[in-house]
Amino acid sequence: MEIESGLTPDDNNTVDCLQPLGMESGAIPDGSITASSVHSPGFAPYLGRLNGNTGGGGWAALVNVIGQWLQVDFKEMKRVTGTIIQGQLGDANHWVTSYKLQYSTDWISWTTYTDNNGADVVFPGNTNSSTPVTNMLNYFIDARFVRFVVQSWYRHIAMRVEVLGCDSAAVLPECLNSLGMESGVIPDSSITASSYYQADLEPYRARLNSVAGGGAWVAKTRDNREILQVDLGEIKQVTVTIIQGRNIADQWVKSYKLQYSTDGIDFWTYTDNDGSDMVFPGSIARIVRVLNPLDTPVDARYVRFLPQSWTSYIAMRVEILGCDKAAVNFSACPQPLGMASGAIPDYSITASSAYSPDLAPYLGRLNGINRGGGWAARVNTIGQWLQVFPGNVDSTSLVKNQLDNPVDARYVRFVAQSWHDHIAMRVEILGCNTTAVNLSACPQPLGMASGAIPDYSITASSAFEPGLAPFLGRLNGITSGGGWAAKVNTIGQWLQVFPGNVNSTSLVKNQLDNPVDARYVRFVVQSWHDHIAMRVEILGCNTNPSASVSLSACPQPLGMESGVIPDYRITASSALSPGLAPFLGRLNGNTGGGGWAAGVNVIGEWLQVFLGNFDATYPATNPLYNPVDARYVRFVVQSWHDHIAMRVEILGCNTIGRCEVAW
């Protein structure tokens, strides 16, 4: 073994730390050896093993540029004391003549090996394709990842390597493990997509550094609704995503969004601190890998990559970093939570019964000596209980309150009963869709923190100022004033969450706090799932501006589902097809395409119901969206009550001048 540079083992006092770490022996698996690029499948990174004689006889880069690298992942911390490098096997005469060494513990932060003066060390490489060159390190390094970074070469960049060292007592950073895309731990069947271009560009080709098939997943269309989805098999904590372009063509994704889910049904888009969808930077070339850490790690089983911009075609290879969900350190956990100290207020302590006021639930505090000296049940029966249901004790800590009896609801109000200084809160709601409920799997965030519940669906009894508006009452929200705050501190102030549909079949009933008198009603779309589509009913009753309406008796269906409102009175801003026309947007309708669907997915699309006359006295004014020039006007009756009868007026102006009509 020829030592070209560095100190001898005795000089470095590392006699027991000069063992090959597994490249030549195969102890390091193929999936742990990666590279900046690959010339072709016969020169894949895993072929870059010292004295390897399979494939093309080594790893070879796609292009000859300074900075190409071969990387080794030990999967655990190792103490590295030296390296061995060798050229490509055979008569091609390809080898690396000099290289730098980089190392990392987490795949995010990399350090270049330097000399005593802080200058990067450039190690000498090979002078032929067969003779190994060993370079000992002047000082050892503890690392999980090691990169051989090419500085110069002969004819073409190619190498076979070994790393010398021993086990290390250093501890790996937490939660930065590859979750299985590159290694193959995630099976092909768990990698799916909205489409794929052809047979060799399937979703399972989207593995980081994969060179098989067409060299990546490629979507069938160039549309930002395309999705690549990875099923991790179980809920993991996700901390980093890595993206890379297609191996054999100049096709890559330049930016993408990230969605995640615990159940594969409800997905949340990863957002920034302002609650806006986070758009992550993607690749800048097909061989470049871009690593994007998540500022706030998420718990997820399913991860979706949503391309937003791309070069040529949507093509990507990916990896996801993270770890198993962290276990609680119970040795540090048992701290008093506030019963003895009084931090938990009296009203948060309830019970199944109480023997007397002197033995009320709130007296059941550890070491309590007030009144009767504790809580006592009214009767001695199995199942009597004392419950502690705390609120907040500071402005940052989360308080999670599980409901003993889950409820099905569309509205949820947090009704303040007590407060510190001023009523203010940030909230999340845990639950699940009510169809086929698995209660053990049910408590999932429903969208306050993630932003899945839009701002306009969050209302309140009052707001202190615009910077403390209801929509700012999101769990972990830090924008503007940092939460919702009521205008006044009175018992009964409330924060309400008012979501729309969560699937295609369940009904969502939204009661108006302030009923309105109207002849036209428009449903103006603000957000949607996949495509704008709806079926509706309107609840109310006959009225006129001076009528005294009994609100309890008023909410009656006005005719969408029953057909009392005829088809021609139901219009829309657009329609996707005749089978999804406006008149099909009736509650529980099952004809045509099963509802109304807009022609395009844009905010502001609308479905309108034109109720007509409901009595003999109150006028119904109907403006024409497209005014007409006419001498004769006919009112052609389509439906009536009891007998055709009407009294009319026509609004307009002379056509020789501009018509200024105030509707």
Per-residue pLDDT, 506: 63
Classify 43 as helix, strand or coil: helix
Query: In this predicted model, which residue has the larger pLDDT, 377 or 662?
Result: 377
The CA dihedral of 22, 27, 30, 32, to the nearest 10 degrees, is: -70
pLDDT recorded at residue 265: 87
Q: What percent of the chain has pLDDT over 90?
A: 37
Percent of the chain at pLDDT > 70 equals 83
The confidence score (pLDDT) of residue 1 equals: 35
pLDDT (tens digit per residue) in 266-286: 899 999 888 899 999 998 877
For residue 15, pLDDT over 60 is answered with: no
**Secondary element (H or E) of residue 232:** strand 228-244
pLDDT at 313 over 70: yes
Give 29-55 pLDDT, tens digit per residue.
Answer: 998 898 988 999 899 999 999 999 999
Is residue 264 pLDDT above 80, yes or no?
Answer: yes
Which tokens go with 455?
């701002």
480 band by pLDDT with thresholds 50, 70 and 90: confident
Model pLDDT, residue 332: 39
**Per-residue model confidence (pLDDT) at position 70:** 96
Q: Are 162 and 146 spatial neighbours (Cβ–Cβ below 8 Å)?
A: no
505: pLDDT strictly greater than 70: no
More confident residue, 52 or 641: 52
Burial of 543 (0-12, 13-18, 19+ CB in 10 A): middle
Pairing of strands 133-154, 2-5: parallel
| pLDDT computed for residue 458 by the predictor | 85
What's the rounded mean pLDDT across residues 321-330?
64
pLDDT at 551: 41
Give the pLDDT confidence score for residue 434 in this predicted structure. 57
Confidence at residue 369, expressed as pLDDT on a 0 to 100 scale: 77
**pLDDT (0 to 100) of residue 662:** 43
Does residue 385 register a pLDDT over 80? no
Q: Is the pLDDT of residue 616 over 50?
A: yes
- Write down all domains in the chain, each with its CATH number in brackets: 2-173 (2.60.120.260), 188-324 (2.60.120.260), 338-389 (no CATH), 391-509 (no CATH)
* Mean pLDDT, range 498-515, rounded to an integer: 66
Residue 271 per-residue DSSP state: B
Mean pLDDT (whole number) for 601-623? 70
- Whether 315 and 193 have beta carbons less than 8 Å apart is answered as no
Residue 393's pLDDT band, with cuts at 50, 70 and 90, is low
Section 146-170 average pLDDT: 95
pLDDT at 634: 75
| pLDDT digit string, tens, across residues 130-156 | 999 999 999 999 999 999 999 999 999
**Candidate ranges 17-26, 472-481, 594-603, 654-663; pick with highest mean pLDDT:** 17-26
Structure tokens at 492: 């009964």
CA distances from 420 to 184, 265, 486, 608 (A): 53, 38, 12, 46
- CA distances, 288 to each of 69, 254, 279, 313 (Å): 11, 11, 18, 16
Looking at per-residue pLDDT, the higher value among 492 and 272 belongs to: 272
Task: Provide the mean pLDDT of the chain.
Answer: 82
Mean pLDDT along residues 230-256: 94
In 61-207, the DSSP E strands lie at 69-86, 95-104, 111-112, 123-124, 133-154, 158-167, 177-178, 191-193
Task: Give the integer Cα–Cα distance in Å for 349 and 369.
Answer: 16
